[in-house]
């Protein structure tokens, strides 16, 4: 009889995507159910192994996201997060129970600083809670992941004790998070190597890395963990996540693919889906990808200097270690025009990773035709803007119905804004301001009764050319939180009003969600 190899001796790395959970914890990056489901489908197409779809106890919205995604996703495993409490575990269990492949992911802080200041619990109490929660979770599903939170700052002996207890209680994956992004590649690799060598039963479970990017080491640390025996990496699209973010999925996947001599492993990632999903996540969360971001940034494959361009013309490999097509960057960007039909429109959206239902597709197609009248050439970026506008519009409580602005160099600007509210009533008000933008935003605040501080306002053109659509991004502060909004239009004032209104609508949704969260997190 042949022996089953220990997971840490195999060459396959499981990719655990937490864009919808840790990623969504980025300030201002909230997503609605439809958007989460859309991203989950794109993640499945990308080939991730596990999708962490939410933290069910935190809000009805998170519960529903885990439940719905669990039902819709057939190949990948869908995980729901829980703390070590009975209520959390039961809620996560209820959420994943109908999933084709469900996982409960339980975490409990183990480092001294978390034990003393956050949990105020002794070591034996933490072990007891860990064991009880894992045993309870096993009543719901067999696939249980346990994370000793802040593992990288936990005393090695205690970490080994907790991991041992978790494995004995039935955990099948042990994730050792670098919660505060503090570790280094050497230290983190050693943490895994030591645990796997010394904890009884460690060779029968999968070890997992989960790194934050506070020191810019998240990807390097994750890959070092694999050298130490980890075979699951937790990461997010575009590296979004708490504070400086999580390890970026696209960077991990391409490092493994590009340097097999150093990383002799495989993942299930379909690399040419990386750019489309990066754009999808950026569009739906409103979080821009920095231009020089590795793999998916606008400049990742741009060569500016003459010497580089000359080298590229002679032989691409002189300055290019990855070909843009391998990550799904299609160089011919002109895609559709006035004569394109609904079918071509839907196909291109699907290639970009967007799956709209028939009703949303019809509305987006109507907007596409209107855009074609204003703009001869439609690019991928225009389509993405259009989908964002469509999805944003669907979740808006207030819709922009009309806008009239008067301004000049001398004197006060005036804006008259009409909105349609959730009941379908059109409401109109006017306001004055220092300039047209100030006047429009003041009118919107009066109409919605939400006053927020404008922290940042940015305009950029979606594509090149004089007919290009403008994209306006705003960041507002409200009740101590940051909220983002984006708006698109060939008219920059209209794009500004849309961006501001998108943020105001998010504030409304978040206020409702916070009320839900506060009541479910009590006790
Ligand atoms: O960073 C962290 O420790 C986490 C855990 C909940 C896994 O996100
Ligand atoms: Zn995290």
In the 3-class helix/strand/coil scheme, how is 4-23 assigned residue by residue? CCCHHHCCECEEEECCCCCH
All residues at 6 or more sequence positions from 334 whose CB lies less than 8 Å from its CB, including other chains: 377, 378, 379
In this predicted structure, what is the pLDDT of residue 505?
87
- CA-nearest of 413, 376, 396, 356 to 487 is 396
Which residues, in sequence order, are bridge partners of residue 488? 471
277, 46 contact by CB (below 8 A): yes
Q: Residue with the nearest Cα to atom 4 of ligand 1?
A: 179
CA distances from 329 to 77, 279, 282, 291, 295 (A): 28, 11, 15, 14, 10
Return the DSSP state at 182.
Answer: -
Mutate to test the pocket of ligand 1, among 52, 108, 177 (most ligand atoms within 8 A of CB): 177
Which residues, in sequence order, are bridge partners of residue 348? none
Does ligand 1 come within 6 angstroms of the Cβ of 52? no
Distance 92 CA to ligand 1 centre (A): 16
Mutate to test the pocket of ligand 1, among 16, 25, 107 (most ligand atoms within 8 A of CB): 107
Does ligand 1 come within 6 angstroms of the Cβ of 179? yes
Distance 356 CA to ligand 1 centre (A): 32
Does ligand 1 come within 6 angstroms of the Cβ of 107? yes
State how far the Cα of 360 lies from the Cα of 341, in Å rounded to an integer: 16
223, 255 contact by CB (below 8 A): yes
Does ligand 1 come within 6 angstroms of the Cβ of 16? no
Q: Which helix (H) or strand (E) holds 83?
A: strand 77-83
C-alpha angle 71/72/75, rounded to 5°?
95
Distance 452 CA to ligand 1 centre (A): 31
Distance 471 CA to ligand 2 centre (A): 31
The ligand 1 atom at the shortest distance from the C-alpha of residue 234 is: 7
Which residues, in sequence order, are bridge partners of residue 15? 233
CA distances from 460 to 350, 438, 489 (A): 25, 19, 11
CA distances from 187 to 194, 221, 229 (A): 10, 9, 13
Q: Residue with the nearest Cα to atom 6 of ligand 1?
A: 107
Q: Residue with the nearest Cα to atom 5 of ligand 1?
A: 149
Distance 382 CA to ligand 1 centre (A): 36
Does ligand 1 come within 6 angstroms of the Cβ of 147? yes
Is the pTM higher than 0.85? Answer: no
Which residues, in sequence order, are bridge partners of residue 412? none
Distance 127 CA to ligand 2 centre (A): 21
Which residues lie at CB < 5 A from ion ligand 2? 22
- CA-nearest of 392, 354, 408 to 497 is 392
| Span 129-169, pLDDT tens digits | 999 999 999 999 999 999 999 999 999 999 999 999 999 99
Mutate to test the pocket of ligand 1, among 149, 150, 211, 243 (most ligand atoms within 8 A of CB): 149
State how far the Cα of 443 lies from the Cα of 510, in Å rounded to an integer: 22
| Span 410-445, pLDDT tens digits | 889 999 999 999 889 999 999 999 999 999 999 999
CA distances from 184 to 15, 88, 119, 218, 405 (A): 21, 32, 26, 9, 55
- CA-nearest of 391, 285, 292, 385 to 27 is 285
Task: List per-residue pLDDT tens for the chain, 523 residues long.
Answer: 456 778 888 999 999 999 999 999 887 777 889 889 999 999 999 999 999 999 999 999 999 999 999 999 999 999 999 999 999 999 999 999 999 999 999 999 999 999 999 999 999 999 999 999 999 999 999 999 999 999 999 999 999 999 999 999 999 999 999 999 999 999 999 999 999 999 999 999 999 999 999 999 999 999 999 999 999 999 999 999 999 999 999 999 999 999 999 999 999 999 999 999 999 999 888 888 998 999 999 888 876 667 777 777 777 888 889 999 999 987 645 567 777 888 888 888 887 778 888 888 898 898 888 888 887 778 777 888 888 777 766 667 899 999 999 998 888 999 999 999 988 999 999 999 999 999 999 999 999 999 899 998 989 887 777 778 888 989 888 888 778 888 888 899 999 999 999 889 888 877 665 545 544 443 3
- CA-nearest of 235, 264, 272 to 21 is 235
In this predicted structure, what is the pLDDT of residue 121?
95
State how far the Cα of 75 lies from the Cα of 290, in Å rounded to an integer: 32
State how far the Cα of 379 lies from the Cα of 270, in Å rounded to an integer: 24
The ligand 1 atom at the shortest distance from the C-alpha of residue 81 is: 6
Q: Residue with the nearest Cα to atom 3 of ligand 1?
A: 179
- CA-nearest of 455, 420, 414, 473 to 438 is 414
Does ligand 1 come within 6 angstroms of the Cβ of 63? no
State how far the Cα of 149 lies from the Cα of 140, in Å rounded to an integer: 23
CB atoms within 10 A of CB 97: 14
345, 362 contact by CB (below 8 A): no
Does ligand 1 come within 6 angstroms of the Cβ of 149? yes
Listing DSSP states for 417-478 in one string gives EEEE-TTS-EEEEEEEESSHHHHHHHHHHHHHT---EEEEEEEEESSSSTTPPEEEEEEEEE
Distance 522 CA to ligand 1 centre (A): 21
Longest Cα separation, the chain: 89
Secondary structure (3-state) at 55: coil
352-356 long-range Cβ contacts below 8 angstroms, 24+ apart: 352/276, 352/279, 352/280, 352/380, 352/383, 352/384, 352/387, 353/42, 353/45, 353/273, 353/276, 353/277, 353/279, 353/280, 354/38, 354/280, 354/384, 354/387, 355/38, 355/41, 355/42, 356/387, 356/390
In this predicted structure, what is the pLDDT of residue 335?
63
313 exposure class (CB count in 10 Å sphere: 0-12, 13-18, 19+): exposed
In this predicted structure, what is the pLDDT of residue 393?
67
């Amino acid at each position: 009889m042949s022996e089953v190899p220990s997971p840490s001796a195999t060459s396959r790395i499981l990719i655990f995507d937490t864009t919808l959970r840790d990623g969504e914890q980025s300030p201002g990056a909230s997503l609605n159910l439809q958007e989460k489901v859309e991203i989950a489908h794109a993640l499945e197409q990308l080939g991730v192994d596990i999708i962490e779809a939410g933290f069910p106890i935190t809000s009805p919205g998170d519960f529903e996201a885990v439940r719905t995604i669990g039902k819709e996703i057939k190949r990948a495993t869908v995980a729901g997060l829980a703390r070590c409490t009975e209520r959390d575990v039961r809620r996560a269990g209820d959420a994943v129970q109908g999933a084709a492949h469900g996982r409960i992911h339980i975490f409990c802080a183990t480092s001294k600083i978390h034990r003393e200041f956050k949990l105020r619990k002794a070591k034996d109490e933490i072990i007891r809670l860990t064991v009880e929660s894992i045993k309870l979770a096993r009543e719901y599903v067999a696939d249980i992941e346990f994370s000793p939170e802040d593992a990288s700052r936990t005393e090695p002996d205690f970490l080994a004790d907790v991991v041992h207890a978790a494995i004995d209680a039935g955990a099948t994956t042990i994730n050792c998070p670098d919660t505060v992004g503090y570790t280094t590649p050497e230290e983190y690799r050693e943490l895994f190597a030591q645990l796997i060598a010394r904890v009884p039963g460690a060779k029968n479970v999968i070890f997992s890395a989960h790194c934050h990017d506070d020191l810019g080491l998240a990807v390097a640390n994750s890959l070092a963990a694999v050298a130490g025996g980890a075979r699951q990496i937790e990461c997010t699209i575009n590296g979004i996540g708490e504070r400086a973010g999580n390890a970026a999925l696209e960077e991990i996947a391409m490092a493994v693919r590009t340097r097999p001599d150093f990383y002799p492993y495989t993942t299930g990632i379909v690399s040419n889906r990386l750019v489309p999903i990066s754009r999808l996540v950026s569009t739906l969360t409103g979080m821009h990808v920095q231009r020089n971001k590795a793999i998916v940034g606008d400049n990742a494959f741009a060569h500016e200097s003459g010497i580089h361009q000359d080298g590229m013309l002679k032989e691409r490999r002189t300055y290019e270690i990855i070909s843009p097509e391998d990550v799904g960057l299609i160089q011919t960007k002109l895609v559709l025009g006035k004569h394109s039909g609904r079918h071509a429109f839907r196909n291109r959206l699907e290639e970009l990773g967007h799956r709209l239902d028939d009703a949303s597709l019809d509305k987006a197609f109507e907007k596409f035709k209107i855009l074609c009248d204003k703009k001869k050439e439609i690019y991928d970026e225009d389509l993405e803007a259009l989908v964002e506008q469509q999805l944003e519009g669907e979740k808006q409580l207030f819709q922009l119905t009309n806008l009239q602005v008067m301004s000049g160099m001398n004197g006060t600007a005036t804006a008259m804004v009409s909105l349609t509210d959730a009941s379908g009533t059109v409401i109109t008000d006017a306001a004055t301001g220092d300039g047209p933008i100030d006047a429009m935003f003041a009118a919107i605040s009066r109409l919605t009764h939400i006053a927020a501080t404008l922290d940042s306002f940015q305009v950029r053109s979606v594509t090149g050319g004089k007919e290009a659509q403008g994209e306006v991004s705003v960041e507002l502060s409200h009740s101590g939180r940051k909220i983002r909004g984006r708006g698109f239009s060939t008219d920059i004032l209209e794009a500004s009003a849309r961006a501001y209104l998108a943020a105001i609508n998010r504030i409304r949704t978040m206020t409702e969600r916070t009320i839900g969260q506060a009541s479910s997190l009590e006790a």
